[in-house]
Structure 1
Amino acid sequence: MRKKAAKNKAISKSTDGFIRVISGQFRGRKLPVKNVEGLRPTTDRIKETVFNWLMQDTRDATVLDCYAGSGGLGFEALSRFAKNTTFIELDALAAKQIEQNICTLDLNNAQVVQTNSLSYLAQKNINQPFDLVFVDPPFRKNLAQSSCDLLENNQWLSQDALIYVEVEIELSNFSPPNNWLLIKEKKAGQVFCRLYQRQSN
């Protein structure tokens, strides 16, 4: 019985993983990630591309990491001196791991909201709007379009906010709000990486 328990523990441990912070004050730090169905931690290669795009725009930004998953994008922003980051994650295990990683890094400018991202964004935002938003939802669930529409319509975005959207390449009908200007785009494997800037009305 003891051997079986040990084996199960080993299997569980082997299916979990980690993300690596690639630059900034936490460069090289490895943060544990739970093995959660549908969770796709952003690869180092994509993170490097995205944050090269955002090189001049992360410091002092208020950040919203929708569909946070591993929290990789939000933690990268914090490492590069974002003012604060809010992580939204539905899965309880993934959300708890993000909270633990916040404690590991001794951060007091990050929070986790364990909820459905669409429900969260469906509310009118009455607090400070966000300067930088990451929208990297689970694939093939048609979440990117609704998320972006809610961000624009419910006052979640600052006047010239930057929005990073990652979608599967076969999603051909994604259409950003009319006042979002596409400023960067790259195909990486099976995904399109796109950076938009909101144009003030």
Structure 2
Amino acid sequence: MSGRDGTPRTARSKADGRPDVRTEAPRGASRGPSEVRIVGGVWKRSKLPVADRPGLRPTPDRVRETLFNWLGQDLSGWRVLDAFAGSGALGFEAASRGAAQVTLLEKDPGLAAQLRANLKRLDKDGTAPMRIEAADALAWMRRAAPASLDLVLLDPPFAQDLFLPALRAAAPLLVPQGLLYLEAPEALEPPAELGLSLWREGRAGAVHYRLFQRNG
């Protein structure tokens, strides 16, 4: 995933390598939005409903816009995993921008059913390369094929402290120079043995979001 100069082909902004840190007002403790919008690609401006579930906190539009500016607008050929899908905002955003394969994992059967309904509504001709599974993300990742993904998106429920287990399960799934995105309430550092290097980072209120690259 490198360009000719050795920098990741996904790094199409901030060529000087300095982190792009953006801020957004804290979301507070009240119930989150009832819907979010896809911000780019063929499904741009399409709405995704957000169910009223404890801890369900969809990635804000501005954060997704920043993330996909980092990644580049065209994800053609990429294999992507949205491991804690929730509203599906991250995974649908990747599919909207041309990813070749997008898998969404959601443990809650009701939310998984909603994701399937959203896919049916958006994918009029049934050709979108998306798979939605009602599955435990950690168990799924631990049995998945190593070095099989270009991008893993991790936004675990903040209250369940799944961040390090999710990082440990996800890192081996990346191809060399593959990318891993993490949202957390603090700027977490992966254990050194996972071979992940920080590439970009930002903060929106109480949410820290970081993009790592697998060494190799």
TM-score range, shorter chain: 0.7 to 0.9
Superposition deviation, residue 33 in structure 1: 2.6
Whether 1:111 and 2:127 are equivalent positions in the alignment is no
Question: Which one of the candidate residues 203, 206, 214 is aligned to 1:187?
Answer: 203
Residue type at the aligned position of 2:152: V
- Other structure's SS at 1:140 match: helix
- Other structure's SS at 1:122 match: helix
Whether 1:196 and 2:203 are equivalent positions in the alignment is no
Superposition deviation, residue 97 in structure 1: 0.7
Higher relative contact order (CA 8 A, sep 6+): 2
Whether 1:40 and 2:60 are equivalent positions in the alignment is no
Superposition deviation, residue 31 in structure 1: 2.1
**How high is the TM-score relative to the length of structure 1?**
0.83
- Other structure's SS at 2:208 match: strand
**2:97 paired residue number:** 80
Once residues 102 and 192 of structure 2 are traced to their aligned partners in structure 1, the CA distance between those partners, rounded to angstroms, is 23
Tell me, yes or no, if the aligned pair for 2:83 and 2:137 is still in contact at 8 Å.
yes
Superposition deviation, residue 126 in structure 1: 3.3
Superposition deviation, residue 122 in structure 1: 2.1
Q: How does 1:173-184 map to 2 (within 5 A)?
A: 175=191, 177-184=193-200
Superposition deviation, residue 138 in structure 1: 0.5
**1:10 paired residue number:** none
C-alpha distance 37-77 of structure 1, shift in aligned 2 (>3 A): same
Question: Which one of the candidate residues 70, 80, 89 is aligned to 1:53?
Answer: 70
Q: How does 1:110-189 map to 2 (within 5 A)?
A: 110-123=130-143, 125-126=144-145, 129-152=148-171, 155-169=172-186, 175=191, 177-189=193-205
**1:3 paired residue number:** none
Tell me, yes or no, if the aligned pair for 1:184 and 1:195 is still in contact at 8 Å.
yes
**2:18 paired residue number:** none
Superposition deviation, residue 68 in structure 1: 0.5
C-alpha distance 142-108 of structure 1, shift in aligned 2 (>3 A): same
Tell me, yes or no, if the aligned pair for 2:81 and 2:149 is still in contact at 8 Å.
yes
- Other structure's SS at 2:76 match: coil
Once residues 91 and 176 of structure 1 are traced to their aligned partners in structure 2, the CA distance between those partners, rounded to angstroms, is 32
1:12-40 deviation line (CA, Å, top 9, x unaligned) = xxx98222111111111112232222111
| 5+ long unaligned stretches in structure 2 | 1-31
The RMSD of aligned alpha carbons is: 2.3
| 5+ long unaligned stretches in structure 1 | 1-14
C-alpha distance 44-32 of structure 1, shift in aligned 2 (>3 A): same
Superposition deviation, residue 105 in structure 1: 1.4
C-alpha distance 172-20 of structure 1, shift in aligned 2 (>3 A): closer
Question: Which one of the candidate residues 44, 51, 71 is aligned to 2:88?
Answer: 71
Once residues 146 and 117 of structure 1 are traced to their aligned partners in structure 2, the CA distance between those partners, rounded to angstroms, is 10
